[in-house]
Chain A
Amino acid sequence: MLVKTALEAGYITCQTCGKLSAIDVVKCPLCYRNLAPRQLKSLQNTLAWLCTAILLYLPANFLPIMFTQQFSQYYSATIVGGVIDLWQQQAYFIAIVIFMASIVVPIIKIVILLWLVVSVKYYREHHQKQRSIMYRLTEIVGRWSMIDVFVVAILVALFQLGGVITIIPGPAALAFAGVVATTMFAAKSFDSRLIWDHVNTEGKQH
């Protein structure tokens, strides 16, 4: 089955509203977004954001995400430590949710985006179907990745009881928020249209 992309048909898709315009139209007549057939340096930008995310991911996991001060006793917890604690306290559901949201999801997102970048750049004729599935997966899991930052934010706001119990956000919370933000930017700067550019050359050698 022969499939034409919009570009091949002489049109530009608006990435905001999805309207097809003629290739020489500069601004989308519907939503006034600047139109470009393919975003310039999309892959490079994505890669840069992903590198930042990877750099931030290390402190996000190794530094404490929050400090608990309870009766002048001082605990610090990393994300992994917190998950283990929750698991040991038999809060399995919360442990799984935090584990998925804080560790699995960012890694999946980063790995998929990296794979997409490499795949689009060097293996454009291969894995076109998988690329579509993977891209949609990042869309699905991406929205859960902020849950950890929210957990910390809520706990910090709730437990400010002076000497009895106080929760203070740790440096990892900031780094983790950075990871989430940069993966969002990475996903955003990835021009999804690049995925299907060689849809008709599937499996063929070029």
Chain B
Amino acid sequence: MSSSQAIIKTRPKLSSIWLIPILALLVSVWIVTQHYLDRGPEIRITFQTAEGIEAGKTKIKALNVEVGIVERVELHRDLESVIIHARIKPDAVNLLRKETQFWVEKPRIGSRGISGLSTLLSGAYIELGPGEGPIGKTEYTGYANRPLTVGKQKGVNVFLLSAASSSLSEGAPVLYRGFRVGQITHLEVLSSGQLRASAFINEPYDRLVSSTSRFFNASGFSFRLTPEGMDFESESISSLMSGGVAFDVPNGINPGANVKEGQEFVLYDKLADIDLHPYQFVNEYLLLFDASTRGLQVGAPVEYRGIPVGSVAAISMDLISDDIRNEQDVPQVPVLIKVDTGRLVGDDSIKGQKRLQDRFVSYVAQGMRAALKNASLVTGQRVITLDFYPEVKAGEISQLERFTVLPTISDDVDRVISRVGIFVDKLNKLPLNETVVNANQTINSLQLMIEQANHLVKSGHDLLAQDETQAIPTELNNTLQQLQATLSGLSPNAPVYQSLINTLDQAKVTLQSVERVSNALDSQPSSILFSEPKDPDLTPGAHQDEK
């Protein structure tokens, strides 16, 4: 062994290396605590579908700034929706207010161009729309699409009703004279089979929509060939591609009161229609006629005491079912009429429809009936008239299948017309020509007589000129007596004279009636074909002016 002494130091029992695992432990504990302290609240959003949403990947963004991430996606217990658990960053907590909205942002091609293109590659994300209200809500219901109004976006939302959507789509523009003022936000089919589109008009422009505004389909274009050349009309190129609606006030109508949120309008097919038929809401009534409806056409006016209040919508046996027709001994002819609520009630809205219905119930009880009347004798055109007949019993509005039935009355017009016809026939049969010929003959014979008398006077004068005549007074006397006898035939008491006077009187009366007819023809040559011209169609707004 070595002689040199080992230097003995006392060393600590534990190695200093142990500091390293302790440090590592402390660091990891610190990181984990920090992670849990730093993470924000968890919120739950209910969606109809989790299409495109992936746990751990899908982000929640507000104005394209990431504010959270989806942590978990689970099915709701009712299996009809999904619940998305999302973690919101702590600095975005004050975005979680009562009216905050969430929706899935996806790529969408609309008239405004393509939006959400970045989501094509990155996948969908959930957009947070800031809202008002107190902070601290954790349960939300998400929308599949961008909601109608996001946050502070202001404007007015109206509903457009139409029978067919033609080419409407969500996001399609709402135009005012070609300028984009809003968009279609939602489309749905109502239980009545109508299509209801929600249109949102942005704030500065919501004042342009008034109660007299009429919405019409602005998609597509019209192309006409006129003597002046070709006429091409289209609202805008974008609406040509994606569809869209426009609104305007019909010609000659003043803008009405500002529109209220959720007001309903009828969507017209084209711009021309809003002037053609300015009333939007109509009530349909079924009329059952026992008499012939020959001469009544679809589109023929329905008049109330001469004022047009609607039109004939359909004339067809198919309006009522076969079963009902079988029950009737003599099948009645069903005629469907449309009555404009705006004209009779002055309230062109769904509420007005109800009011008109109520009013008709009381009117019918007071004796109002629908009747078929001739509009023109010559062409046989007919109209439907609504009028009060005090002599009839109180009636009531009934319901036949899907139609409301107004009671009808058979007017005595038909009989009046047949009488007029007989009169005209008689007028035609009058022996006008013979009478004139007779009169001529009578005048001729009268003339002959006068000539004869002249001849007599002349021969008498000749006779007087003869010396022999002067010398023979008896002969003269005889001649005078002869003359007197001849002239006595022409006296007012004579039968020839009487018959002449009578004939002339008859001719005078006849000529007077002919003159009346010819006067009427002179002033209105069309009256032989058509009835008197109607008053111009009433337009809405007139009643508002009166208010």
CB of B30 to closest CB in A, whole Å: 12
Question: Knowing A23-B2, A55-B28, A59-B28 touch, does A44 contact B121 (C-beta < 8 A)?
Answer: no
Interface string of A18-41 (1 = CB under 8 A from B): 000011100000000000000011
Most buried by B among A45, A75, A178: A45
The answer, yes or no, to whether A159 is at the interface (CB within 8 Å) is no
Contacts of A120 in B (CB 8 A): none
**How far, in angstroms, from A189 to B17 measured CA to CA in the complex?**
10
Q: Report chain B residues within 8 Å CB of A48.
A: 15, 17-18, 20-21
Are the C-beta atoms of A55 and B24 separated by less than 8 Å?
A: yes
0/1 per residue, B1-24, Cβ < 8 Å to A? 110100000010011011011001
8 A Cβ contacts from A57-115 to B: 58-59, 71-75
Is A24 a contact partner of B28 (Cβ separation < 8 A)?
no
**B-contact bits for A140-184, CB 8 A (1 contact / 0 none):** 000000000000000000000000000000000000001000100
Q: Closest chain B residue to A74 by CB distance?
A: B57
- The reply to whether the CB of A7 lies closer than 8 angstroms to some CB of chain B is no
Which residues on the A side are within 8 Å of B28 (C-beta)? 55, 58-59
Interface of B is mostly: helix
Query: Is there contact, CB below 8 Å, between B18 and A44?
Result: yes
Question: How many residues of chain B have a CB within 8 Å of chain A?
Answer: 18
Given contacts A55-B25, A59-B28, A73-B121, contact A45 B4 (CB under 8 A): no
CA separation between A48 and B20, bound complex, in Å? 7
**From A54, which residue of chain B is reached at the shortest CB distance?**
B21
Chain B, Cβ-Cβ closest to A182: B20
Chain B residues near A182 (CB-CB < 8 A): 20
Instruction: Establish whether residues B21 and A41, one from each chain, have CB atoms under 8 Å apart when the complex forms.
Output: no
Classify the secondary structure of A's interface with B. Answer: helix
Residues of chain B contacted by A24 (CB below 8 angstroms): 1-2, 4
Give the Cβ gap from B506 to chain A, nearest Cβ, in Å.
108
CA distance A55 to B28 in the complex (A): 8
Q: Count the A residues whose beta carbon is within 8 Å of the partner chain — how many? A: 24
In the complex, the chain A residue whose C-beta lies closest to that of B4 is: A24
Question: Taking CB as reference atom, which chain A residue is nearest B20?
Answer: A52
Contact of B21 among A40, A55, A74 (CB under 8 A): A55
Chain B residues near A59 (CB-CB < 8 A) = 28
Binding site for A on B (CB under 8 A): 1-2, 4, 11, 14-15, 17-18, 20-21, 24-25, 28, 57, 118, 121-123
* Residues of chain A at the chain B interface (Cβ within 8 Å): 10, 22-24, 40-41, 44-45, 48-49, 51-52, 55-56, 58-59, 71-75, 178, 182, 189
What would be 28 A-B contacts, judged by CB atoms less than 8 Å apart?
A10-B1, A22-B2, A23-B1, A23-B2, A24-B1, A24-B4, A40-B11, A41-B15, A44-B18, A45-B15, A48-B15, A48-B17, A48-B18, A49-B20, A49-B21, A51-B21, A51-B24, A52-B20, A52-B24, A55-B24, A58-B28, A72-B121, A72-B122, A73-B121, A74-B122, A75-B57, A182-B20, A189-B17
A73-B122, A74-B57 given; 15 more Cβ-contact pairs under 8 Å: A40-B11, A44-B14, A44-B15, A44-B17, A48-B21, A49-B17, A49-B20, A52-B21, A55-B21, A56-B24, A72-B118, A72-B122, A74-B122, A75-B57, A189-B17
